[in-house]
Chains A and B, each alone.
Chain A
Amino acid sequence: MIRTAGLTKRVPTSEGELTILNDVSLRIEAGESVAIVGASGSGKSTLLGLMAGLDTATSGEIWLDGRQLSTMDEEQRALLRAEAVGFVFQTFQLLPSLTALENAMLPIELKGESGAGGKARKLLDRVGLGDRWHHYPNQLSGGEQQRVAIARAFATKARVLFADEPTGNLDTATGGKVIDVLFELNREFDTTLVLVTHEERLARKCGRSIRLVAGEIANGESRPEPVHA
């Protein structure tokens, strides 16, 4: 489902070029759940952004859902995201002017599918917010907001779900409940899950972990990949 080969990301700084990711090669199969772990600043979120097509690499190649991202422009990557990718972020990223229901409806509407309201209501029911659908983000707790984000992520039946520190802004108990919902839906929709976290406990819930240290894979995952799709 996802493959990277020799992925490198460098950014210019006032003190010269800074390497954030260095020669990262990995492979994630369809239906797998993979945790990307590592200390702060190890390059976890950058790797997630690159694999999801939110950013472009300095060098190396990425394949997502059978397509090579590095040859696509932002428009093509956006269309691929619309079709195949879902996101859950640490800071929830809900639109503050939309209600819970409207937030969950948004990707369905953007995709041009009909029955957005019904589908979104079902998902909100599924994440336990059936009675809170008309509330705005600022009227919901952190855990509730993250559950709306999860409902939104599954609204278009994404084939790959990228989760960036989904419990990072939540207390342990709330975080636990949110993760349970996330994994339940993941199983139900048979989604490939890529989860960035620094929590070992959360990482253990995934099928396997990829550890990043200073922008490089530290646990032997960084093996050469074939360059054909």
Chain B
Amino acid sequence: MPEAAATGLGNLPAVSWRLLWRDWRGGELRLLFLALVLAVASVTGIALFTDRLERALLLESANMLAADRVLHTRGEPAPAEIINEAARRGFRTAGTLSFTSMAFSDSGNMLVAAKAVSDAYPLRGKLITTLLPFTRGAPVASGPPPGEVWLESRALPALGVEVGGTVFVGEAELTVGAVIIAEPDRGQGGFVDNAGPRLMLHMDDVAATNVVQPGSRVSHRALFAHDDFVALDAFEQWVDETFDGNYHIRDVREESGEIAEALDRAEGYLLLGSLFAVLLAGLAIALSARRYSERHYDYVAILKTLGCTSARISAIYLLIQLKLALAAVLLGSLLGFALHQGILRALRASLNVELPPPGLEPYVVGALTAFICLLAFALPPLLALRETPPLRVLRKDLTQLRFSDRIPYAFGIGGSVLLIYWYSRDLVLTTLLVVGVAGTGLLLSLISLLFLATSGSVGMKAGNAWKLAMTAVRRRRWQNVLQVMVFSVTIMSLLILSLLRTDLIEDWRAQLPEDTPNLFMMNVTGGQVGRIEAFFAENGVEANAFYPLISARVRTINGAEPEPDAGGGGEQGGSSLLENNELPERPAARDAMAADGGESGQSAESGNRQVQGRLSRRQVTWADEPPPDNRITAGAWWGDNPRSGLVSIDEEYADWLNIGIGDEIGFEINQQFVSAEVANLRSVRWDNMQPNFFIIFSPGTINHLGATFLSTVRLEAGRKLLLNDLIRQFPTIVVIEVDALIEQIQTIIGQVSSAIELIFLLVLAAGALVLLSCVSASLDERFHENAILRTLGAGRRLILASLLIEFSFIGIIAGVIATLGAEGGLYYLQERIFEQDFNPHYWVWLAGPALGCAIIALLGVNSTRKVVSTSPLTVLRRVV
């Protein structure tokens, strides 16, 4: 006996090459190869795209900080040790110093938001200046030189100066060198950066102004930039560790909650898109591998009669798959690269972001995906071929595939879990998807039971298309269950991504609609409210509601000292803004925006952090109606005839303080004690750039304690000069402009919306391929059966009609299950992961099944048309 053949690999590599080549030539492997290439191409393409897009978006959003990382300090500049360490690590650094001051000229004066910058400012983004106010400008490399000030357009007419004139800041006389049109980090900062038009000067001139004294209310920002993201993270960590958390370097996500949220959601969507793309590609691989292996039963049986052992059969197929996978990885990576280039080209106009070069990781991700998919989805049915009994050469009906009956599902499920976890690194999301799929499986089993329970009748009922189709559905119920599962998972994926995309984009649009107010007016006295309203009415500007503002402190809850959750972070916190009489980072989004704030506050960004450190002074209000975008989550609003002594609390804040409906809260307001019962809890949309409040009293509760008022208004760019008149007429009010921030958020949202649309299209393509391969996987049996029917005299119309009915029926069931799954999945995703409010999509309940029916019927009938156009003899010969 030849030992090489008996034990070792012998000439197996050569044999596997020949079989691979012959199978390829015979067209047997093409579908599997195509599915593998698709998996690699879509995953690599999406990974390349998201990798570069994420980095680009981070870079782009870094422009909004004028740096990659920022260290914000109050009163004192950042320690020299940090700046020196940054320089030692090859960082570029710059510094800014913000303060409010009066600027004087020969003909006027006004409160300005002064900002002194060092030579290197800005490190990221562009400072745009011009020589005439309210005109277009051009980017300049750095800020004003010593001896110069640059002013925002509005300040020039207010001060009655032109470029070349002089203004005084404190004791320093400076020349107006340019007009600032845009400043990269204009949206950042608190009150000191927003209390008036910008006046920018050189850092060296600050001393000469004599405005900044020890203890002055000033804000320092140390700016850092480095092209290596890893170096940035390492530096951030070094600062945290060296200074024991007393100083914290922040990136754009921490600096701007709105941008962080947009980026987080976009990344979440892109991740979900990639997951669905991988799962769909896995399905396509599993289906085509199954079909390939089914077509190879006879092949293996013959090989076995020729003396091939099971071990050698496994080795041959393993080698074939390995070679196929390598080829697929190569071709898929190339296609993936081309795909992402295509996407970028298509998006160039809307992206408007300079993309960093791609890394190697996406290719590794693509290749690993191919091998995991192959292991999980393709290998089990192929390895099961080894179980084919050689006797099959004599008896066609023998399959005896014990291995393939159970193991592949375990492999497939295990592989899917591994892939999902690997991509998401998120145990919750992984569990959710696994539970979702398991739920779908359970639902399908129930439907199968229904099929089983349907009283089967004898024969095919071949005289009537409807009955013929229904008996076919019943006879093939187990194959149909698999098919319905594949169809429904595919349609569900597409529905989820489609609905989520629409909801996300609509949500973003709703967050900052076209008429979002761009000015906040504060420190308005009760007597000024009517006059300001009249001022806007005279000038044809729509004024918004005025909210009273008053500083309050929670003293007791049901008579006892408040005991905030330990996890809430308590009172301490980095950038305490109010104690410096400044504004939090998002001036418009917080109730704590009055200039006469309390003792402690914190510019927390989202989630629990929003309520951290909020036990002390809060800016509270009273109102007849809840502010727009507020949703009552417990209890009820006080209705048309409110009684005094009630209070409404933000639900996260209430959660942190362990407050519930009916609790009696004691407040200290203007040295008086006020008690109120909690009537309701609200969810507050902090990112809508509208006045928002943690605590709202019912009218009549605190009205007598004195308050100032806050309101918003939208002034189009062309009407900004009106602001000068307003301030001239009401010199005590404080006006904060947030145009820059709104514009920056809208830019980011526009970009991530484009990315989301594109990923959706990619997954749509992957889904279409799965549907196609699923339909073609069921073709063989239908071909054979219908060929026999035709030889027995069944007409073309009868067969086509029965196929149409059968596929439509399967499509409707798949559509119903997909809709159920999609709504369930969306509920979880929106409520838990994307932090959106879930609303049922009623139209989908009709559209889902209709879509399933239309797509499956169209694909099915189109693919099986050949059944009636090929001669029955050809079909029968091929199948025998």
- Residues on A facing B (Cβ under 8 Å): 45, 48-49, 52-55, 74-75, 78-83, 85, 87, 89, 91, 93-98, 102, 106-107, 109-113, 138, 152, 156, 164
Find out whether the CB atom of A110 lies under 8 angstroms from the CB atom of B310.
no
A-facing residues in B272-309 (Cβ within 8 Å): 298-299, 301-309
Of the residues B10, B26, B301, B306, contact of A96 by C-beta under 8 Å? B26
**In the complex the two chains form, what is the Cα distance from A48 to B305 in whole Å?**
12
Whether A95 contacts B302 in the complex (CB less than 8 A), given A79-B6, A112-B11, comes out as yes
Of the residues A45, A49, A85, A94, contact of B307 by C-beta under 8 Å? A85
Contacts of B391 in A (CB 8 A): 49, 54-55
Contacts of B393 in A (CB 8 A): 54, 87, 89, 93
Find out whether the CB atom of B305 lies under 8 angstroms from the CB atom of A87.
yes
Of the residues B298, B308, B311, B880, contact of A110 by C-beta under 8 Å? B308
Nearest-neighbour CB distance to chain A for B221, whole angstroms, equals 70
Complex interface bits, B298-328 against A, C-beta within 8 A gives 1, otherwise 0: 1101111111111110000000000000000
Smallest CB gap from B304: residue in A: A78
Check B5 for interface membership: any CB of A closer than 8 A. yes
**In the complex the two chains form, what is the Cα distance from A98 to B302 in whole Å?**
13
Find out whether the CB atom of B23 lies under 8 angstroms from the CB atom of A97.
yes
Per the CB 8 Å criterion, the residue count for chain B at the interface is: 39
**In the complex the two chains form, what is the Cα distance from A109 to B880 in whole Å?**
27
Find out whether the CB atom of B298 lies under 8 angstroms from the CB atom of A93.
yes
Smallest CB gap from A165: residue in B: B394
Sample of 17 further A-B pairs with CB below 8 A, known A83-B2, A98-B26 = A45-B395, A52-B305, A55-B389, A74-B309, A82-B307, A82-B308, A87-B393, A95-B302, A96-B26, A97-B26, A97-B27, A102-B22, A106-B303, A110-B15, A110-B308, A112-B4, A138-B878
A-facing residues in B811-868 (Cβ within 8 Å): none
Contacts of B311 in A (CB 8 A): 75
Find out whether the CB atom of B305 lies under 8 angstroms from the CB atom of A112.
no
Nearest-neighbour CB distance to chain B for A111, whole angstroms, equals 5
Nearest-neighbour CB distance to chain A for B14, whole angstroms, equals 7
Find out whether the CB atom of A82 lies under 8 angstroms from the CB atom of B306.
yes
Find out whether the CB atom of B299 lies under 8 angstroms from the CB atom of A78.
no
**In the complex the two chains form, what is the Cα distance from A51 to B298 in whole Å?**
20
Find out whether the CB atom of B22 lies under 8 angstroms from the CB atom of A109.
no
Check B136 for interface membership: any CB of A closer than 8 A. no
Find out whether the CB atom of A54 lies under 8 angstroms from the CB atom of B394.
yes
**In the complex the two chains form, what is the Cα distance from A87 to B303 in whole Å?**
11
Find out whether the CB atom of A97 lies under 8 angstroms from the CB atom of B18.
no
Nearest-neighbour CB distance to chain B for A135, whole angstroms, equals 14
- Residues on B facing A (Cβ under 8 Å): 1-2, 4-6, 10-11, 14-15, 18, 22-23, 25-28, 298-299, 301-312, 389-391, 393-395, 877-878, 880
Find out whether the CB atom of A111 lies under 8 angstroms from the CB atom of B26.
no
Nearest-neighbour CB distance to chain A for B388, whole angstroms, equals 11
Find out whether the CB atom of B305 lies under 8 angstroms from the CB atom of A109.
no
Contacts of B309 in A (CB 8 A): 74-75, 78-79
Whether A110 contacts B303 in the complex (CB less than 8 A), given A54-B393, A87-B393, comes out as yes
Contacts of B26 in A (CB 8 A): 96-98
Contacts of B303 in A (CB 8 A): 106, 110
**In the complex the two chains form, what is the Cα distance from A23 to B630 in whole Å?**
88
Nearest-neighbour CB distance to chain A for B524, whole angstroms, equals 85
Contacts of B307 in A (CB 8 A): 78-83, 85, 107, 110-111, 156
Contacts of A112 in B (CB 8 A): 2, 4-5, 10-11
Find out whether the CB atom of A106 lies under 8 angstroms from the CB atom of B306.
yes
**In the complex the two chains form, what is the Cα distance from A111 to B2 in whole Å?**
7
Contacts of B304 in A (CB 8 A): 54, 78, 81
Whether A83 contacts B1 in the complex (CB less than 8 A), given A74-B310, A91-B880, A109-B14, comes out as yes
Find out whether the CB atom of A79 lies under 8 angstroms from the CB atom of B305.
no
Nearest-neighbour CB distance to chain A for B313, whole angstroms, equals 9
* 30 sampled A-B residue pairs with Cβ under 8 A: A45-B394, A45-B395, A48-B394, A52-B305, A54-B391, A55-B391, A78-B304, A78-B308, A78-B309, A79-B309, A82-B5, A82-B306, A83-B2, A87-B305, A87-B306, A89-B394, A91-B880, A93-B301, A93-B305, A95-B22, A97-B23, A102-B18, A102-B22, A110-B312, A111-B5, A112-B4, A112-B5, A113-B2, A138-B877, A164-B394
Contacts of A98 in B (CB 8 A): 22, 26
Smallest CB gap from A113: residue in B: B2
**In the complex the two chains form, what is the Cα distance from A91 to B389 in whole Å?**
17
**In the complex the two chains form, what is the Cα distance from A109 to B15 in whole Å?**
7
Smallest CB gap from B301: residue in A: A93
**In the complex the two chains form, what is the Cα distance from A124 to B14 in whole Å?**
23
**In the complex the two chains form, what is the Cα distance from A107 to B1 in whole Å?**
14
Nearest-neighbour CB distance to chain B for A200, whole angstroms, equals 22
**In the complex the two chains form, what is the Cα distance from A164 to B305 in whole Å?**
13
Which of B11, B389, B390, B880 neighbours the largest number of chain A CB atoms within 10 Å of its CB? B390
**In the complex the two chains form, what is the Cα distance from A49 to B5 in whole Å?**
23
**In the complex the two chains form, what is the Cα distance from A91 to B312 in whole Å?**
25
Smallest CB gap from A45: residue in B: B394
Contacts of A156 in B (CB 8 A): 307
Which of A81, A97, A102 neighbours the largest number of chain B CB atoms within 10 Å of its CB? A97
**In the complex the two chains form, what is the Cα distance from A156 to B1 in whole Å?**
12
Contacts of A91 in B (CB 8 A): 880
**In the complex the two chains form, what is the Cα distance from A89 to B880 in whole Å?**
14
Whether A79 contacts B302 in the complex (CB less than 8 A), given A74-B310, A97-B28, comes out as no
**In the complex the two chains form, what is the Cα distance from A113 to B4 in whole Å?**
9
Find out whether the CB atom of B2 lies under 8 angstroms from the CB atom of A54.
no
Nearest-neighbour CB distance to chain A for B300, whole angstroms, equals 10
Find out whether the CB atom of A109 lies under 8 angstroms from the CB atom of B11.
yes
Find out whether the CB atom of A107 lies under 8 angstroms from the CB atom of B306.
yes
Which of A54, A85, A87 neighbours the largest number of chain B CB atoms within 10 Å of its CB? A54
Smallest CB gap from B311: residue in A: A75
Nearest-neighbour CB distance to chain B for A14, whole angstroms, equals 15
Contacts of A164 in B (CB 8 A): 394
**In the complex the two chains form, what is the Cα distance from A109 to B1 in whole Å?**
14
Smallest CB gap from B307: residue in A: A82
Of the residues B2, B23, B390, contact of A78 by C-beta under 8 Å? B390
**In the complex the two chains form, what is the Cα distance from A169 to B347 in whole Å?**
63
**In the complex the two chains form, what is the Cα distance from A164 to B391 in whole Å?**
12
Smallest CB gap from A87: residue in B: B305
Find out whether the CB atom of B310 lies under 8 angstroms from the CB atom of A75.
yes
**In the complex the two chains form, what is the Cα distance from A82 to B15 in whole Å?**
15
**In the complex the two chains form, what is the Cα distance from A94 to B14 in whole Å?**
20
**In the complex the two chains form, what is the Cα distance from A102 to B877 in whole Å?**
21
Smallest CB gap from A75: residue in B: B309
Nearest-neighbour CB distance to chain B for A194, whole angstroms, equals 13
Contacts of B878 in A (CB 8 A): 138
Contacts of B298 in A (CB 8 A): 93
Smallest CB gap from B3: residue in A: A112
**In the complex the two chains form, what is the Cα distance from A109 to B316 in whole Å?**
12
Find out whether the CB atom of B305 lies under 8 angstroms from the CB atom of A81.
yes
